Structure 1
Amino acid sequence: MSPTKPWLRHYPSEVAPTFEYPKHNLARLLVQSAKKFPDRPAIYFMGKKMTYKAFLEASYRFANVLTALGVNRGDRVAIMMPNCPPAVIAYFGTLMMGGIVVQTSPLYMERELVHQLSDSGAKVIVTLDLLFARVQKAKEKTPSLEHIVVSSIKDYLPFPKNVLYPLKMKKDGVNLAVEQGEGVHSFKKLLRSASATPICVDVDAEQDLALLQYTGGTTGIAKGVMLTHYNVVANTYQTSNWCYKVQFGEERFLGAIPCFHVFGLTVLLNQSVFRAGMLILIPKFDINLILDTINDLKPTIFPGAPTMYVALINHKRIQDYNISSINVCVSGSAPLPLEVQERFEALTGGRIVEGYGLTEASPVTHANLVWGYRKIGTIGIPFPDTDAKVVNSETGEEVPLGEIGELIVKGPQVMRGYWNRDRETAMTLRDGWLYTGDMARMDEDGFFAIVDRKKDLIIAGGYNIYPREVEEILFEHPAIMEAVVIGIPDEYRGETVKAFVVLKPGMKLTERELELWCRERLAAFKVPRKVEFRETLPKTLVGKVLRRQLLEEEQKQSS
């Protein structure tokens, strides 16, 4: 074992430190599972199941639809949908015919949508009738976009929900009418009339792109991350090998995180299909729906974000539900507070492990062991075939053990670069290493802890303050449900710490009480000087708190 990789000694015997990843079209994951388990349910959506055989056939049909619309290999196809059957059919169908998937958030407004569609040069967008008006406006400003393919939630609902859904929407004042015509097509009609001839083109897996996955929308202008078929297949296998007790054809995956997010794509959608599991698609995070689903359908695997677990453990009627079916939870997209981890495991009897990744790495690079030695408060150890170091951001030199520096990673899951952005690519990929922009430290066992985003660092009176450290202390307070910390301008210290806090239902807490709590647990310069109590915090769809939005609000108030 290399002395520079102390983490390898913690690998269980079931996890090989290196593996030969197949170099094939990402869509072969579906082809293989449908061949082995044709009659097993692949998708469960709001009371209706779809078998692997039906899922594969629908994906073949969509691949042939795209070809008929004039889409060629290498053309970009945008998918702007929440978790629903057409979203995953369009995903695999696009990959099968050699197209490049551009996942687009349903929350995007016209300006963001125009940027992403124009930047990627998308030729087709697949969306819902609910979102059509917004997409139609964006199309007028996007010369490359030739076709809008429109589906509806009702198309995949069982009776009588399929009848009641449009009535409810009408009652709520939502217009679902879509006028078909030049460049506007019905997903359902196209699929029905398309050929079901199998198609899954051969690709140069290490060069050909499977995804243009946009990132940085919350931190500046969104950039398209070029992920190859090999990148994503490798990360799917890495994640699967890590969770080695997971059974083929047996598991039920709770699909609460959005599949348009890279974490949801790999750890939920690709993982479920690779393992021939049943993917329970939840279009919108609704805690009551989630609890009912767990209680009734007994999912075994629940990838999620910390905010989802926070909502679950703090639900006033959590004791009325049986959530013990959950065996494995992989938490990503934000730090997992210790108190949340302990309470969730006590309630389910399952294991919840914190992992780490970023869009540029497909996304997972580190995780704690699901069954084995783990360290709470860390992101765990690097995945198989993944190398990691903590370095001085400027020089690239490794920092001494235990010291803080920038985390850099290398592995088969690391992107080819940013789409049409050579300068940013050169800054982020250096000598084969991906510079993550996250500040971290590594201990003597090879466990890594993220201290914070490089850009989130607060410098107060010359002292470095990492928001995560303060947030961990806030989360430990029995009255606090959620908390986030930012740096705000201060005439004397340059910056000072401000905390935004959401209390648990029925709990009370004063600013003075919280200050005393922090003073007992933090150095004086780290204690929040300002506290704002809120009902909710602004979040992305995947549950990540929008720290940037809070900063912008503060800047507006102070200007």
Structure 2
Amino acid sequence: MRIEDHLRQSAGRFGSKMALIAGGTQLSYGELDRLSDYLAASLVANGIKVGDRVLMIAENSAEAVVAFFAAWKAGAVPCPLHASIKQDKLRAIIESTEPYTILAQARFLSLVDSALSGADHVPLKIAFGTLPTSATEDWLAYEAIATHDGKAELPRQVDSEALALLIHTSGSTGTPKGVMHSHASLLAACGAIIDYLENHSDDIILSVLPISFGYGITQILTMVMVGGTLVLEKSFAFPRKTLQRLAEVKATGFPLVPPMAALITGMQDLQPDFLPQLRYITSAAAAMPPSVSQSLRALLPDTQLFLMYGQTECIRATYLPAEEADRRPLSVGRAIPGTRALIIDEDGSALGAGEIGELVIEGPHVMSGYWRDELSSSTKLLPVAHGRRLHTGDLFRADEDGFLYFVSRRDDIIKTRGEKVSPQEVERVLYALPGIREAAVAGVDDPVFGQLIRAYVALEPDAELSEKDILRHCAAHLEDYMVPKSVEFRDALPKTSTGKIRLTAEQSAPDIEDNVA
């Protein structure tokens, strides 16, 4: 079974039921199925072939969701890119993927044209929204081609192992890497997510997550698979409006990232259980500080909180059952259903409880590899009996009950005074100090100690904390070698497009990576 088959199946079962609400657009399952049929037929009529790539540059919108399913129905491969992508990175991805078509929101047309300047091959260009007067004549209007003319016959695709999605990550070098997922691997990941979240056709999920990365895309797929309703919002730029929207649509699920949770719990006038219909919240894209998760649980005591970890390369790797959130707030749980997660040493041997090593993931949800990069693929992947083994490159430990705990990215470990320090451990202590809104820790090169630890913090508006206050707090809760040597105050810390605090985000183009920790 392929992804688009689930849409056809849900359209058959729930034809008139609302599938998607995005801005002012509402689409039933029948309408979503028909519109994606029409666009797919137009793509085929325009010459697209099985396996061709469809680059998509758009904010969250109904047109983008239709385009996903149209590409799959045409046998093509969607390649969604974040709306904040820069010209140089876009050009590199275009050169690498050689797309047959580029589908872009109207405000990104000049970006696409600039990236295509001097290109040997210019893809079919499709724009949706009101085209600016400056748009070149070679842009086709989405509204004009996504209509039924009865001319093109839509082929039925049957290969579930075919490439279904290319999601680009920046990687450690900053060079875009295309993570390849098949229909089978995406459906395996989403099926496991549906299993532990107990999704069903009555679910209404409100998502502000960009549909350019895995966490956002899974909201589309899981709802279509169960026949639920997805309410797609453009962003979390206005938190109170998002909370009002959650109440208006009676959302039963709300996926978020930790900075969003921190903003919500920082609102002083919210009453406990103010969203009585909300059945669960999921958190990914970064580790949630325990102080934030505890505040969220107090604010919404009847709402289940699922803390999760994953990477673009496997979509989702682990989850913490909601009943464990209070007992093990630092854990990311165990492997998702139908998969394995284990911690190994440098020789590949499994490690016991308390020992720190690399987390590896095994299962049918692991990517096929990196696009046109056999060397990187071979270093990250290993065939196993039931799928593939993914080397995450992240350091973990497990407790006596087998629950997993993120320690650090292998490259993020700070080496100071002959000791190894996990930035996350220091950051947890910083977040425990009232008045700190955002915190990050990094190593600063030092000729004597190798590296010195520096803390970067953003304070709450009414907080009055000095560097001395913060260092005194750290000294009371950390071993000497883990205490930061300096504190740098910021109005806000830089974040990737997925909402993850990352100090390097200010030196580079916005990251489109989906490491769901």
Q: Identify if the C-alpha distance between structure 1 residues 142 and 29 changes in structure 2 by more than 3 Å, giving closer, same or farther.
A: farther
1:381-392 to 2 correspondences below 5 Å: 381-392=334-345
1:88 is aligned, of 60, 65, 69, to 65
- Residue 201, structure 1, aligned to residue 178, structure 2: no
CA contact 2:42–2:152 (8 Å) conserved in 1: no
Structure 1 stretches lacking a partner, 5+ long? 1-23, 155-174, 554-559
Task: Give the equivalent residue in structure 1 for 2:424.
Answer: 468
Task: Give the equivalent residue in structure 2 for 1:541.
Answer: 497
Task: Give the equivalent residue in structure 2 for 1:131.
Answer: 108
SS in structure 2 at match of 1:114 = helix
Q: Identify if the C-alpha distance between structure 1 residues 144 and 217 changes in structure 2 by more than 3 Å, giving closer, same or farther.
A: farther
- Aligned-residue offset at 1:66: 1.1
Task: Give the equivalent residue in structure 1 for 2:145.
Answer: 190
Q: Letter of the aligned partner of 1:380 in structure 2? A: G
Which deviates further from its counterpart, 298-307 or 185-194?
185-194
SS in structure 2 at match of 1:470 = helix
1:335-484 to 2 correspondences below 5 Å: 335-348=287-300, 349-361=302-314, 363-371=315-323, 375-392=328-345, 394-432=346-384, 433-484=389-440
CA contact 1:459–1:494 (8 Å) conserved in 2: yes
- Aligned-residue offset at 1:321: 9.6
Q: Letter of the aligned partner of 1:45 in structure 2? A: A
1:24-423 to 2 correspondences below 5 Å: 24-152=1-129, 176-177=132-133, 179=135, 181-182=137-138, 184-192=139-147, 194-195=149-150, 199=154, 201-206=156-161, 208-216=162-170, 220-244=174-198, 246-248=199-201, 250-266=202-218, 268-286=219-237, 287-319=239-271, 322-348=274-300, 349-361=302-314, 363-371=315-323, 375-392=328-345, 394-423=346-375
CA contact 1:323–1:347 (8 Å) conserved in 2: no
- Aligned-residue offset at 1:46: 2.4
SS in structure 2 at match of 1:360 = coil
Q: Deviations along 1:189-221, whole A, 9 cap, x unmatched?
A: 111354498846333223x10011111357521
Q: Identify if the C-alpha distance between structure 1 residues 406 and 109 changes in structure 2 by more than 3 Å, giving closer, same or farther.
A: same
Q: Identify if the C-alpha distance between structure 1 residues 454 and 508 changes in structure 2 by more than 3 Å, giving closer, same or farther.
A: same
Task: Give the equivalent residue in structure 1 for 2:442.
Answer: 486
CA distance in 1, matches of 2:155, 2:7: 10
- Aligned-residue offset at 1:176: 3.6
Coordinate RMSD, CA, aligned: 2.1
Task: Give the equivalent residue in structure 2 for 1:165.
Answer: none
Q: Letter of the aligned partner of 1:524 in structure 2? A: D
CA distance in 2, matches of 1:416, 1:45: 32
Which deviates further from its counterpart, 143-152 or 536-545?
143-152
- Aligned-residue offset at 1:143: 3.4
Q: Identify if the C-alpha distance between structure 1 residues 322 and 386 changes in structure 2 by more than 3 Å, giving closer, same or farther.
A: same
CA distance in 2, matches of 1:106, 1:64: 26
Query: What is the TM-score of this pair, normalised by structure 1?
Result: 0.86
Q: Letter of the aligned partner of 2:448 in structure 1? A: Y
CA contact 1:461–1:494 (8 Å) conserved in 2: yes
Q: Identify if the C-alpha distance between structure 1 residues 481 and 372 changes in structure 2 by more than 3 Å, giving closer, same or farther.
A: closer
Q: Deviations along 1:400-429, whole A, 9 cap, x unmatched?
A: 321111101110000111111111111111
CA distance in 2, matches of 1:110, 1:506: 39
Quote the sequence identity (%).
Answer: 28
CA contact 1:253–1:299 (8 Å) conserved in 2: yes
- Aligned-residue offset at 1:120: 1.2
- Aligned-residue offset at 1:103: 1.1
SS in structure 2 at match of 1:29 = helix
CA distance in 1, matches of 2:343, 2:372: 28
Query: What is the TM-score of this pair, normalised by structure 2?
Result: 0.92
Task: Give the equivalent residue in structure 2 for 1:168.
Answer: none
Paired residues in the alignment total 502
The structure 1 segments of at least 4 consecutive aligned residues displaced by more than 6 Å after TM superposition are none
- Aligned-residue offset at 1:76: 0.4
Q: Identify if the C-alpha distance between structure 1 residues 303 and 261 changes in structure 2 by more than 3 Å, giving closer, same or farther.
A: same
SS in structure 1 at match of 2:89 = helix
CA contact 2:496–2:505 (8 Å) conserved in 1: no
SS in structure 2 at match of 1:274 = helix
- Aligned-residue offset at 1:549: 3.2
CA contact 2:189–2:316 (8 Å) conserved in 1: yes
CA contact 1:180–1:186 (8 Å) conserved in 2: no
CA distance in 2, matches of 1:259, 1:415: 18
